[in-house]
Amino acid sequence: MPIRPENKHRYPKDWKDIRARILQRAGNKCEKCGIKNGAILEKYSRRRICSVEWDMIRSKIRYGGHNMTTALKSLGFVRVVLTIAHLDHVPENCSEDNLQALCQKCQNAYDAIWRAKGIKSRKMSAMNIVPMFGEAGR
């Protein structure tokens, strides 16, 4: 996942080097499901793209003024982008055993509960709501 601007200061200055090292360790594949970084898949079925669809994409780019991303989206495909997950959700902890290369689907599954809490917290903060009983009371 992209680094939130408010969290950028929590990452080390050599984060790009650390990221590259983790991707190399993973063989440029998701360490959970094995999908290759940059693979193009149908969004919901995760079916790989076929040659006929490639021809349609090339046509949209060449004649329709689309770029690769919009051409893929228009046909229901996505490009896999590996992210580096902090398994303990602490950006400052960049030890190799705490970092894992994950595709969007695996990272979203791993982070689902954590992300829901963050969304709720940011929403409450934006509305100036302070929990009366803390998280334990919810």
In 3D, which of 135, 137, 110, 107 has the Cα closest to residue 121? 135
Give the start-to-end residue ranges of the domains of the chain: 5-104
* Least confident piece of the model among 5-14, 41-50, 57-66, 89-98: 41-50
Residue 15 burial by Cβ neighbours in a 10 Å radius (0-12, 13-18, 19+): middle
- The percent of residues above 90 in pLDDT, for the chain, comes to 36
15 pLDDT band, cuts 50/70/90, is very high
d(CA 44, CA 72): 13
d(CA 35, CA 28): 9
pTM, two decimals, is: 0.68
